[in-house]
Structure 1
């Protein structure tokens, strides 16, 4: 693994794995910090946002969404974001390991799909598990929908910034962690982000 510094006197460091893609653990840590900073600047309460679900709850939510229709990780993130009206979206750093766990538990299974993304469908065991946890699942989905309704009633002045940061986090996360993400591509992504950051700092 190696690192490079981009601008700012070496302030920004980007890490790459042996195949050229950004090291996932470091990338997702950076993405969470990016999103947290946007929420603080956008009126998100002045501190780190609390986690919406614990691990078992997130597993049930993802399993329910996959049971509704087969999806890959990015589609699941966007589905949860849509349920909350953009107020919340789980990070790729928690979604993808949870999908791996659900697969190992044989509650979902990968199905044939075009492209590099893994799309998952629910198994019979997964449907049985959802049936056993029906009340809990309904409460979790209701929690997401209530958050969306609250957001719709009064988004606040920081809402456009939070929405834009959500979009940036997802777009960068989706592109930077693909298997074909080369160091040159990641340099380009970093340069674009740095350019936007500099323009924002110069705003009056």
Structure 2
């Protein structure tokens, strides 16, 4: 799903499958939290006006509870507070590389959106990813084309590194 952004750039999905669950679990691991606190922390972490909806966060919390990665405790005003379990900590440790990659991606996204001069690079990266997805979904991609695509990407990476 591609969304139109403020400065005319396009972006793909912010969170790949399962990444929101991992991020929510990471935030709960830092300290027990209410759903609203999680929404606010993700908004601050992502930046650029992004805020996950309650329709995203609460089903995620329910899933984490079903998986026994978090426990729920009623607090004042009948709010639910979520705490990580040992199983949740284990899962988080097993997914540490994925989590680190996600946190780096979010940091890069914040950096890009705080520096307007980097928006052209972000747009170009998204264009490349979209072109790759479309080409690779095509049933007519042959091994020779795949090799050519990989070589062109490698070549571009080398040239960028030389700048």
Instruction: Quickly name the TM-score band, shorter chain normalised.
Output: 0.5 to 0.7
In the alignment, what sits opposite 1:145? Answer: 107
How far the C-alpha of 1:117 sits from its partner, in A, is 2.2
Q: What are the Cα deviations for residues 83-116 of structure 1, in whole angstroms up to 9, with x where unaligned? A: 1223422221111101100000000011242123
How far the C-alpha of 1:55 sits from its partner, in A, is 3.6
**Match 2:6 to one of 43, 46, 49:** 43
Matched, 1:95 2:69: no
Q: SS of the counterpart of 1:121?
A: strand
**Match 1:56 to one of 5, 9, 18:** 18
How far the C-alpha of 1:141 sits from its partner, in A, is 1.2
User: How many Å separate the matches in 2 of 1:98 and 1:138?
Assistant: 20
Structure 1: stretches of 5+ with no match in the other structure: 1-38, 156-204
- Normalized against structure 2, the TM-score is what? 0.62
User: How many Å separate the matches in 2 of 1:45 and 1:101?
Assistant: 35
Higher relative helix content: 2
User: How many Å separate the matches in 2 of 1:46 and 1:154?
Assistant: 11
Q: What are the Cα deviations for residues 52-81 of structure 1, in whole angstroms up to 9, with x where unaligned? A: 113411111110010011112211111111
Sort the Cα spacing of 1:44 and 1:109 in 2 relative to 1 into closer, same or farther, 3 A: farther
In the alignment, what sits opposite 2:33? Answer: 71
Matched, 1:86 2:48: yes
Matched, 1:113 2:66: no
Matched, 1:131 2:93: yes
Q: SS of the counterpart of 2:83?
A: strand
Bigger radius of gyration among the two: 2
User: How many Å separate the matches in 1 of 2:75 and 2:107?
Assistant: 30
User: How many Å separate the matches in 1 of 2:17 and 2:62?
Assistant: 13
How far the C-alpha of 1:135 sits from its partner, in A, is 0.7
- Normalized against structure 1, the TM-score is what? 0.51
Q: SS of the counterpart of 2:107?
A: helix
| Structure with higher RCO (Cα < 8 A, 6+ apart) | 1
In the alignment, what sits opposite 1:25? Answer: none
- For these two proteins, the number of residue pairs brought into alignment is 117
